[in-house]
Amino acid sequence: MSRTVPGWLAGGVGLLLAVAPVLAHHNITGKFDPSKTRTLRGVVTKLDWANPHVHILMDVVNGKIVTNWAVELESTLDLERSGWNLNTLKPGDEITVQGMTARNGTSQIWGDSVALTGTGRRVLNVSEAARAALLPATNLPSRPTPRWPDGKPRLGPPPGEKGYWGRPSSTVLMETGANVQMNAHGLLRNIADVDKVAPFQRWARDLYEYRQRSFLKDDPLFVYCKPPGALRLFQMTYGVQFLEDKNFGRIFLVEGGGNHIWHFIYTDGRPQTGEVRGNADNPLYYGNARGKWEGDTFVVDSKMFNEKFWFSNGGLPHTEQLHLIERFTRTDSNTLKYEVTINDPGAYTRQWSAGWTLQWVPEDLPAYYCQDNRP
């Protein structure tokens, strides 16, 4: 394991625990108000077992009025990792729910705690093991960087093994050296830090602040199931898999969340041209990407992105002029160092950089699908 790992591990875990009381794979405070908590007792009418969030529908009686509440929970993936399934609750079960209610005043609540009223047994909570699956592990045996016969590092698994890159040391974006605290979703702890995050143009800075003040509620990744385009691919909790196709000079990157969307990087030296706005097969959420090796570092030049997505957690704006230079260095079997240079003269006043690491997860890529038009 890299010498730097314990430092970022401790910092990352500490920050996550300090500012993210729930595990949610996106910022839920855009929809739910942490200052408006409530306890509900009622009867289950339906368990809706679907992504991106499981819902319990429950009838709550208040005098002569019966209100059907929607209790929102984590994804099926996190709940299944915690040992729950669609049979955990059935209609007619009496439950007690504690959590924060919706900002818009509708009968929706985030289920911080769901317990069977009769026994007090907590159900549909996220286990420590499920939480740990999203955080950097400390006990992975370290091995040298696996290599191809030509000596180049393997970005995917060695023959006969499986695995993907996940558990990012940082899930937020800010300029290297910036001293800014955010939660795991990129929400600033102090809104006065807006100007420290990146060298924004005025409109981009104000739009970023607006998105922050709105608790990221308009994030198209979650509102419309848009892909985590550009560098956001490497901030996602469900990881990314590299599939190296040496024969055809390309690398596929498959995302663990976001509907297993793939991003391909050509390494065959072809020119960086194409349909400027993409097409149905390649809508350019990941740009036109060309990669080459510089020693043990894989360098990817990407441009021609569309503007239909947020390119990072936290809502930093970008334009079609976004140009990324990404550098991937597998420093050992478990660690992928990610460095990115961001150049977007439409949204930023100058070029800037950021970086973090990803950790090898020796498992199959999670099967998580965001289902359109669902909260």
First to last CA, the chain: 39
State the nearest-atom distance from the C-beta of 357 to another protein, in Å: 28
Q: Which is nearer to another protein, 21 or 83 (CB)?
A: 21
Helix, strand counts (H, E) of the chain: 6, 15
Q: Which is nearer to another protein, 35 or 87 (CB)?
A: 35
Distance CA 114, CA 29 (A): 19
- Residue 314: which of 191, 201, 136 has the closest Cα? 191
Q: Which is nearer to another protein, 129 or 223 (CB)?
A: 223
Q: List interacting residues with another protein (CB under 8 A).
A: 29, 33-35, 191-192, 201, 203, 206-207, 209-210, 212-215, 217-218, 220, 223, 277, 306-310, 317-321, 345-347
Q: Is 105 exposed, middle or buried (0-12, 13-18, 19+ CB in 10 A)?
A: exposed
- Residue 108: which of 64, 58, 46 has the closest Cα? 58
Compute how many other C-beta atoms are within 10 angstroms of the C-beta atom of residue 117. 14
Q: Which is nearer to another protein, 215 or 368 (CB)?
A: 215
State the nearest-atom distance from the C-beta of 224 to another protein, in Å: 9
Q: Which is nearer to another protein, 147 or 277 (CB)?
A: 277
State the nearest-atom distance from the C-beta of 28 to another protein, in Å: 12
Do the strands 108-110 and 65-72 form a parallel or antiparallel pair, or are they unpaired? Answer: parallel
State both tokens at 233. Answer: 């691919």
State the nearest-atom distance from the C-beta of 345 to another protein, in Å: 5
Q: Which residue has the tokens 């702890």?
A: 189
State the nearest-atom distance from the C-beta of 10 to another protein, in Å: 24
